[in-house]
Amino acid sequence: MCYSVETASSYVAYVERYGAHLSLAEFAKLVNKTRRTGDLYLTPTMETAILDDPNPELADIQEELRHARTERLGRMEMSLGELRERLKAAEAKLVRRETKAALNERRIATNKIASTEGKIAGLLEVPGKEKGSGYARIYSGNYAPVMCVVDGEKTVLPMRYLCRPPGVPAEFDQTYPGAYNARLDKLIKPGGYWKALFRKQHAVIVARAFHEFASAGDYKLAALDLPQDKSIKLKFIPEPKQEMLIPCIWSRWKGAGGEELLSFAVITNDPPPEVAVTGHDRCPLQLKPENVDAWLYPEGKTVNELVAILTDKPDVHYRHELEAD
């Protein structure tokens, strides 16, 4: 299960290399939702990529995003102050008498302070990278720029990394929490829950790495002094070094009350040997650059023709690294 992907933090790669255009309206909707709800939809790195973009058409979105960031930062700093008071109170209790409850309260407050400080640092981070060169790591529920086809034109939309097919209830997300990946055999299965999207709504993301969970017992490439049931994290990087063009399916879900959700899932298949040996039974597929348009425009193609496109893989080897906790 590809639980995390390092994908392009800006739409520039799609626009400049593949002739796509940016859907300003959809990005504006998402930024307005961010400000309205206070939730973080785009990662801080992706927000920064938009804020740093000199495109004058983004001016209104950038202004709204600045306001949303300022408001979110204010809420975080207020929460941080409350957590520090909570920690201070716990430490005062421990001075008087050490109890399990007070120790637990100190631990919780300390962890939450570290987490909030990290979020604030991420919000204030300015990568300072060349325009369009940055990547952001996305997890299930995060949004990313995704290239798809709308009304016959290649378009970049902000989509959630957890696909909700059209026509299903919103509870689909809880029933199928792994729907950020679409395994090839289930994708092509007639009557499956991807039937409304395969051969109709295809997409691509540009990435440079993907991440997988494993257990120490399954991890066969190194002798790790860890319990066999210890969960570990692995990062896979393509060699030779290259941008990965990962095929996806995407959905424009509409609720009964008029709510809309754009979402996508990465397509996976059986892993190559260097991934399988670490204990994984799947791996994101990777398109050859010359096959991008053929994947994005599936009309008139048979299932076998589309499978041939997906399995016509670049000559690549995946090097892996053990991630620190």
Nearest alpha carbon to residue 162 among 147, 148, 175: 175
The domain limits of the chain are: 2-23+133-322, 65-124
Q: Specify the pLDDT at position 173.
A: 94
Integer Cα distance of 195 and 181 in angstroms:
15
Kindly state the DSSP code that residue 265 receives in the 8-state scheme: E
Question: Taking CA 276 as the corner, what is the angle to CA 274 and CA 280, rounded to the nearest 5 degrees?
Answer: 130
pLDDT per residue as tens digits for the range 260-304: 999 999 999 999 999 888 877 789 999 999 999 999 999 999 999
CB half-sphere exposure, 324, CA atoms < 13 A: 0
Nearest alpha carbon to residue 194 among 135, 278, 250: 250
Query: Can you give the length of the chain in residues?
Result: 325
Tally of CB atoms within 10 A around 175? 9
Residue ranges of the chain whose pLDDT lies below 50: 127-133
Q: Specify the pLDDT at position 132.
A: 42
Q: Specify the pLDDT at position 136.
A: 86
pLDDT per residue as tens digits for the range 84-103: 999 999 999 999 999 999 99
In 132-208, alpha helices (H): 172-175, 184-187
Determine the residue type at 171: E
Structural tokens at position 250 = 């995407």
Nearest alpha carbon to residue 14 among 267, 238, 159, 206: 206
264 pairs with which residues across the strands? 161, 250
What SS3 class is residue 40? coil
Distance (Å) of CA 242 to CA 99, 237, 314 = 54, 9, 10
| Cα end-to-end span (Å), the chain | 18
* Annotation: CATH topology of 2-23+133-322: hypothetical protein yedk fold (3.90.1680)
Integer Cα distance of 306 and 132 in angstroms:
30
